[in-house]
Structure 1
Amino acid sequence: MALAHKQLDFESVPVRVSDKAAIAFSGQDKVPILKDGDHMVFDSWKIADYLESAYPDRPSLFGCAAGHGLARFVNAVVDRQMIPKLAPLLMRDVLDIVDDADAAHLRNGIEKAFRKTLEDLASQRDSGIVEFRRMLDPVRATLRTQPFLSGAQAAYGDYILFSLFQWARIVSAVQVLEPDDAIAAWRERMLDLFDGFARREQSRLEAVEAAS
């Protein structure tokens, strides 16, 4: 979304989560990785910072220094509170759309982190989703008065939170948001941005069903 916002042409190269050899060229073992000529950047926040400084003539991801600082706060809230709350509830579904090697890698990592099986985590899904929705109240209140978290137009703060909902849409059929939620309407606006760029990413569940 940041690259689309910056109006930059790019090629995406998906990799299996267990295939660390595929990203060994970066000197570390995490994604996403941005390769821009001779420059290598990994970590979403660092990539956004790089794009903003390397392409100052393109639309700004932050708007100003104050916007950059506020987006950093949103990034911390999503990373430290929202992702740990929602991702474990949906991770069991992920096993149904990846190969055996990735499934084993994901199961091992998540179960070690939470000290529960993925099945146990999934069994808490109903109450967990309710708690997650409640956690979003500040977002909901903001979107009742403006179309995007960043104001009249979407910016990097929106993309940070949207990435979690996009991941959920791709990996699981669970309805994370109620249809009449202001955040659900915002999510639709986000999916429509850049000529439907994010909407074109097919749900993996749909892809698996179509192939079977």
Structure 2
Amino acid sequence: MAVKLYELVGSDAGRPFSPYCWRTRMALAHKGLSAESIPWRFTEKSAIAPHGSEKVPVMLDGDRAVADSWTIANYLEDTYPGRPSLFGGAGGRAMARFLNAWGDIAIVGGIFPLIIADIPKNLAAEDADYFRKSREARFGKSLEEVMATRDQAVIGFRRSLEPLRQTLKTQAFIGGDTPDYADYIVFGGFQWARVVSPFRLLEESDSVHAWRERLLDAFDGLARKSPGHPV
């Protein structure tokens, strides 16, 4: 049976943008697996409730439903051991577990305030209203107020990427000579931003920018072919 993947989209069903769904998209491509995309929106929680989740990604592999990008990555590794490894062994899996948390906090968490008011522009009215109300309740201020200082805040975000820059001085990817799931964890955040916002997170001279470009070209340009802003 074909693999199916519920992915977060906005008003354009062909423009998936969740950082976590992009982690899974890249992991599937790494394993050489194709997946039928099932567009999913913020207000369609009933569509994935039967699969035991309120959030995407949710992957259907035959009659098996697997939710959460980290859980999916482990499932793919364990279920398809004959295909290219996402982790390169137990040590790589353990290191990726650390990077999964760092990616959530430093990358997704660091990017979110820089693009938050751009996200509703990609959504249909009902979803934009849901997003605005739920996120403004979380931050205690309007989305525009959260994002108001982004021209200065992005400087701190760029500084936070220094460990990645130091790594890229001696290797092309976090995974070494070729990318692995550790790269996809971090890349997912940058692809999310590229799809929903014209804001420039990285300077073109930055080695992290060059790394992102290499991943945009990976798997025959899978991520680059997805509509996004030229940032």
- Which interval holds the TM-score relative to the shorter structure? over 0.9
Deviates more, 1:77-86 or 1:130-139: 77-86
Stretches of structure 2 lacking an aligned partner (at least 5 in a row): 1-25
Deviation at 1:88, TM superposition (A): 2.3
What is residue 19 of structure 2 aligned with on the other side?
A: none
Determine the C-alpha separation between the residues in 1 that align with 2:153 and 2:126.
Answer: 28
Q: Which of 131, 148, 155 does residue 180 from structure 2 map onto? A: 155
Deviation at 1:191, TM superposition (A): 0.5
Q: How many residues align?
A: 205
What is residue 49 of structure 1 aligned with on the other side?
A: 74
1:7 and 2:32 are equivalent in the alignment = yes
Determine the C-alpha separation between the residues in 2 that align with 1:23 and 1:175.
Answer: 33
What is residue 93 of structure 1 aligned with on the other side?
A: 118
4+ residue runs over 4 A deviation:
none
The structure with the largest strand share of the pair is: 2
Q: Which of 57, 67, 73 does residue 98 from structure 2 map onto? A: 73
1:129 and 2:154 are equivalent in the alignment = yes
- 88 and 18 in structure 1: CA distance in 2 versus 1, 3 angstrom threshold: farther
Determine the C-alpha separation between the residues in 2 that align with 1:32 and 1:88.
Answer: 22
Determine the C-alpha separation between the residues in 2 that align with 1:181 and 1:71.
Answer: 23
Question: Among the aligned pairs, what percent are the same residue?
Answer: 48
Deviation at 1:89, TM superposition (A): 1.9
TM-score by length of 2: 0.86
Deviation by residue 1:89-134 (Cα, 9 ceiling, x = unmatched): 2011111111111111111222122222101011011111111101
Stretches of structure 1 lacking an aligned partner (at least 5 in a row): 207-212
What is residue 103 of structure 1 aligned with on the other side?
A: 128
What is residue 180 of structure 1 aligned with on the other side?
A: 205
The structure with the largest helix share of the pair is: 1
Determine the C-alpha separation between the residues in 1 that align with 2:186 and 2:39.
Answer: 21
Q: Which of 38, 41, 45 does residue 63 from structure 2 map onto? A: 38
Deviation at 1:153, TM superposition (A): 0.6
Determine the C-alpha separation between the residues in 2 that align with 1:93 and 1:137.
Answer: 26
Determine the C-alpha separation between the residues in 2 that align with 1:81 and 1:37.
Answer: 35
What is the 5 A alignment of 1:194-209?
194-203=219-228
Whichever residue aligns with residue 70 of structure 1, its letter is M
Whichever residue aligns with residue 127 of structure 2, its letter is D
SS in 2 for 1:185: helix
Deviation at 1:87, TM superposition (A): 1.1
Contact kept, 8 Å, 1:71 with 1:156, in 2: the verdict is: yes
Determine the C-alpha separation between the residues in 2 that align with 1:82 and 1:194.
Answer: 23
Deviation at 1:81, TM superposition (A): 2.6
Q: CA RMSD in A?
A: 1.2
Whichever residue aligns with residue 17 of structure 1, its letter is F
Deviation by residue 1:123-164 (Cα, 9 ceiling, x = unmatched): 011111111101100001111211001111100000000000
Deviation at 1:179, TM superposition (A): 0.5
User: Higher relative contact order at CA 8 Å, sep ≥6: structure 1 or structure 2?
Assistant: 2
TM-score by length of 1: 0.93
What is residue 164 of structure 2 aligned with on the other side?
A: 139
SS in 2 for 1:154: coil
